[in-house]
Chains A and B, each alone.
Chain A
C-alpha cells in the first residue's frame, strides 16, 4: 500500500487527468493491454506539477508514447535495469 494519499485516474481532473490519460494509453500500447498507469507515477498525484514531470519524462524516453527510442551498441534498457539494480530498488 502506498505510504501517502494518491489521486487515482478516476478521481483526477485538469492537467492530472490529461497526464493520466497520456500515460495509461502509452503503457497500454507498450504492454499491449488495456490502458494502465504504472504505480510509480501515482506517488506524485497529489502534486500535479510533479506528475506532469513524470509524464514528460516518459514522453522524452519513448518518443511521445510511440516506442522506446533504441539505438547504440547495447540495449539501452540495461541502463535502466542497472540503475534499479544498484539502487536496490524494490519497485
Chain B
C-alpha cells in the first residue's frame, strides 16, 4: 500500500519507524497523529485535534470521511487478526506493521486502556452542535437514513447528523447498529451480548454509546449493578465461567486483537459456546469499537435516549 503513495522505499521504512519524523507532507503527519489517537485513545480527542487538521487544509467533510474510513478499517483489523486467518497471497503489510514490529512494542500496546473507564462528557460538543465537525447539506441518502431511524428508534441519532457530509457511509452505520441490537448465534445469550457492548464502550470511554449500552443491560435483572460491574475494573473472578470466557476474549479483542490465538477459540469450545459465539463476540467488539471511536473522534453529543429499536425500549 505504501509504495503506491510514496515512490521512495526509504520513506515507507521511515514511516514505519515513526511517521512524525518521516520526510512526508505535514498533512500526512497530521493524519497519522489523528489516527493514532483514533485507534489507541479516542477518548482523549478534543476539538483541537479537529482544528489541527483544518489548519492544514483538511475540511470538515474530509475529516468525517477519514473517521468513517477508520471505522470500517477498525472492523477489518479486528476481524482479520481475531479470526487468525491466513495472509492473502502477496500480502506484505502484516510482517511490516504487525505485532512483531520492534518499534511498536517499544511504544505500548494497542488500546491505551487496561480497564473500562468513563470520559468527561463536558468534552463533547456544545451550543446546539451535534459534533465538532460542521454537518453539511442534507441529501436523499441522509433523508432515507433519517426516515429509517425515526421508524426504528423514534428519533434520528446525533451520530447520523455528524456524518451527514458523507451519507454513503450511513448504509454501513445502519447495518452495524442493526447487528448490535442482539446476538446472532444461539449460544451467546442476550445478556452476555449486552455485557460485551457495555465492556467495549467502557474500554473506549465512549460517553455517546454509554446511553445505549446501559439501557440494554437495564432490561435484565439487576441491570444497573451489571452495568456498574462490567464497566468497572476488570476482575475475572467476579464472573462465572461462561461470562468470564466471553468477557476476557472481548477485552483482548478490543485492546489488542493481534494477541488473539487459537487457544482463545478453544476456550469457547471448551465452555460449550462454540465457534459461532466466538465470531458473534468478535463482530460485536469490532462493530462497537468502530462506532465508539467514530463518536469519540468527532465529539458527537450524546442522544437523550438510547439507540434501541422501539419495541426493545419503552421511552
A83 contacts across to B, CB distance below 8 A: 35, 38-39, 70, 73-74, 77
Number of chain B residues close to chain A: CB under 8 A: 77
Of all chain A residues, the one with the shortest Cβ separation from B16 is A85
B93 contacts across to A, CB distance below 8 A: 81, 84, 89
From known contacts A53-B179, A83-B77, A86-B39, infer whether A40 and B85 are also in contact, taking CB-CB under 8 Å. Answer: yes
Checking B98, B184, B287 against A89 with a beta-carbon cut-off of 8 angstroms, the contacting residue is B98
Asked if B169 lies at the interface with its beta carbon under 8 angstroms from chain A, I say yes
A57 to chain B, nearest CB (A): 5
Say yes or no: A38 contacts B185, CB within 8 Å. no
Interface of chain B, helix or strand or loop or mixed? helix
Per the 8 Å Cβ criterion, residues 60-91 of A in contact with B are 60-61, 69, 72-91
Asked if A47 lies at the interface with its beta carbon under 8 angstroms from chain B, I say yes
From known contacts A79-B70, A91-B81, A91-B85, infer whether A50 and B99 are also in contact, taking CB-CB under 8 Å. Answer: no
Of all chain B residues, the one with the shortest Cβ separation from A5 is B275
Asked if A56 lies at the interface with its beta carbon under 8 angstroms from chain B, I say yes
Checking B27, B77, B276 against A46 with a beta-carbon cut-off of 8 angstroms, the contacting residue is B276
Asked if B176 lies at the interface with its beta carbon under 8 angstroms from chain A, I say yes
Per the 8 Å Cβ criterion, residues 270-315 of B in contact with A are 275-276, 278-280, 282-283, 287
Say yes or no: A3 contacts B1, CB within 8 Å. no
Q: Give the distance in Å from the alpha carbon of A36 to the alpha carbon of B120 in the complex.
A: 46
B80 contacts across to A, CB distance below 8 A: 39-40, 43, 89-91
From known contacts A84-B77, A88-B101, A88-B104, infer whether A74 and B31 are also in contact, taking CB-CB under 8 Å. Answer: yes
Number of chain A residues close to chain B: CB under 8 A: 47
- Total CB contacts across the A-B interface at under 8 A: 199
B83 contacts across to A, CB distance below 8 A: 2-4, 6, 39-40, 42-44
Say yes or no: A50 contacts B39, CB within 8 Å. no
Q: Give the distance in Å from the alpha carbon of A5 to the alpha carbon of B208 in the complex.
A: 35
Say yes or no: B279 contacts A4, CB within 8 Å. yes
Asked if B116 lies at the interface with its beta carbon under 8 angstroms from chain A, I say no
Say yes or no: A61 contacts B69, CB within 8 Å. yes
B257 contacts across to A, CB distance below 8 A: 87, 89
From known contacts A47-B283, A76-B65, infer whether A90 and B184 are also in contact, taking CB-CB under 8 Å. Answer: no
Checking B57, B95, B171, B278 against A60 with a beta-carbon cut-off of 8 angstroms, the contacting residue is B171
Per the 8 Å Cβ criterion, residues 1-57 of A in contact with B are 1-6, 36, 38-44, 46-47, 49-50, 52-54, 56-57
* B24-35 Cβ-contact flags toward A at 8 Å (1 or 0): 010110011001
From known contacts A2-B86, A42-B83, A43-B85, infer whether A77 and B35 are also in contact, taking CB-CB under 8 Å. Answer: no
Say yes or no: B31 contacts A79, CB within 8 Å. yes
From known contacts A1-B86, A46-B275, infer whether A88 and B31 are also in contact, taking CB-CB under 8 Å. Answer: no
